[in-house]
Amino acid sequence: MSDSDTPQGDTAARPPVIRVRDLVVRYETPRGPAVTVLDGITFDVECGETLVIMGGSGCGKSTLLNCLIGEIQPAGGRIVYHLPELGEVDLCGANDVQRNDLRKQFGILFQSGALFSSLTVADNVALPLREHSHVDPTIIDIVVAMKLQQVHMLPHRDKFPSQLSGGQKKRAGLARATALDPQILYYDEPSAGLDPVTSTAIDELIMSLSGKLKVTSIVVTHEMDSAFRIADRMVMLDRGRVLRIGPRHEFETIRDAAPDSFETREEQLMHQFLNGNASGPLTESDGPNEYERILLESSTFAR
């Protein structure tokens, strides 16, 4: 990969922990041609940053995240990881051993928390340690207690997932995601379905873990309050493409500008999306088209 591959918006001197280049994903459909869901995605993820991936419902956020964790094999493009312990690994060309080694470096918080209902909170957190490490059981107990303490869940260690609130399930999921001391933490819609107070608490936990563990965090969300709270940089996807990538302040500038100060329809759309409202230049002029209407409706604020 040459230096000229570096996409706009990336300025850090250290090598990026992930380089995504020209990523293409297509889904087969039962009738008719395959649908292109990601259409030439290019961006870098810098070491230690929190990158928020946002965009309207159905724009490809979860698909992108699934590509990044190796769950979906793209039809084209490259995802190259650069981690101290593993060196450079091209995920799309990796063999099973390389892929498994790489995946041990990821912690993933799925939307539902994805806890095993038949296991206690402590056993859920211990599971990755039992499966992927050769650590002595007594040490596992200590590590589990530390991980639960980190997310303020130690008092709930013997409960089953059905006995937990939504926020507690997320925190337990987060303890499990950090069990193997990952280098990269992935979150898919971490505040979905939570009340505003709990959602803010989860955001604070994401930020504190990012600081304490010195991990790189990639967060998929369509919750604007949450995105602006936690992001160092933001990527806005638009129908399977990168509409804009940049530091949070650039997005704040667009969000906070006067609605009539934008020249392009794209900027107007971003302004409305980032403000999470359906009124603005688009709706006041000739009205949003079908795609824009769906995009604007899917932009939500927790407040």
Ligand X SMILES: Nc1ncnc2c1ncn2[C@@H]1O[C@H](COP(=O)(O)OP(=O)(O)O)[C@@H](O)[C@H]1O
Sites of contact with ligand X (CB under 6 A): 27, 37, 55, 57-63
- The verdict on 221 binding Mg ion (CB under 5 A) reads no
Residue 59 site contact among Mg ion, ligand X, none (CB < 5 to 8 Å, cut-off depends on kind): ligand X
Alpha-carbon gap, residue 175 to 109, rounded angstroms: 9
61 vs 147 by CB, closer to Mg ion: 61
- For residue 63, the minimal CB distance to ligand X (Å) is 3
53 vs 194 by CB, closer to ligand X: 53
Enter the tokens of residue 46: 């810098």
Alpha-carbon gap, residue 189 to 222, rounded angstroms: 7
Mention every residue, 6+ apart, whose C-beta is less than 8 A from residue 143: 129, 135, 179
Asked if 9 and 45 count as a contact pair (C-beta separation under 8 A), the reply is no
- For residue 234, the minimal CB distance to ligand X (Å) is 15
Asked if 153 and 172 count as a contact pair (C-beta separation under 8 A), the reply is yes
| Residue 58 burial by Cβ neighbours in a 10 Å radius (0-12, 13-18, 19+) | middle
CA–centroid distance for 177 within its chain: 13
50 vs 62 by CB, closer to Mg ion: 62
75 vs 192 by CB, closer to Mg ion: 192
283 vs 298 by CB, closer to ligand X: 298
Cβ atoms within 10 Å of 264's Cβ, excluding its own: 8
140 vs 218 by CB, closer to Mg ion: 218
Q: What is the total residue count of the chain? A: 303
Residue 58 site contact among ligand X, Mg ion, none (CB < 5 to 8 Å, cut-off depends on kind): ligand X
Residue 245 site contact among Mg ion, ligand X, none (CB < 5 to 8 Å, cut-off depends on kind): none
Q: Which of 50, 62, 168, 191 binds Mg ion (CB under 5 A)?
A: 62
- For residue 188, the minimal CB distance to ligand X (Å) is 8
58 vs 281 by CB, closer to ligand X: 58
- For residue 281, the minimal CB distance to ligand X (Å) is 24
Residue 57 site contact among Mg ion, ligand X, none (CB < 5 to 8 Å, cut-off depends on kind): ligand X
- For residue 31, the minimal CB distance to ligand X (Å) is 12
- For residue 300, the minimal CB distance to ligand X (Å) is 12
Residue 231 site contact among Mg ion, ligand X, none (CB < 5 to 8 Å, cut-off depends on kind): none
157 vs 223 by CB, closer to ligand X: 223
- The residues in 71-110 that bind Mg ion, with binding defined as CB under 5 A, are none
**What DSSP letter does each residue of 118-175 carry, written as one string?**
TS-HHHHHHHHHHHH----HHHHHHHHHHHHHHTT-GGGTT--GGGS-HHHHHHHHHH
- For residue 231, the minimal CB distance to ligand X (Å) is 17
Cβ atoms within 10 Å of 263's Cβ, excluding its own: 7
- For residue 303, the minimal CB distance to ligand X (Å) is 22
Asked if 230 and 203 count as a contact pair (C-beta separation under 8 A), the reply is yes
| Residue 291 burial by Cβ neighbours in a 10 Å radius (0-12, 13-18, 19+) | middle
Residues that bind Mg ion (CB under 5 A): 61-62
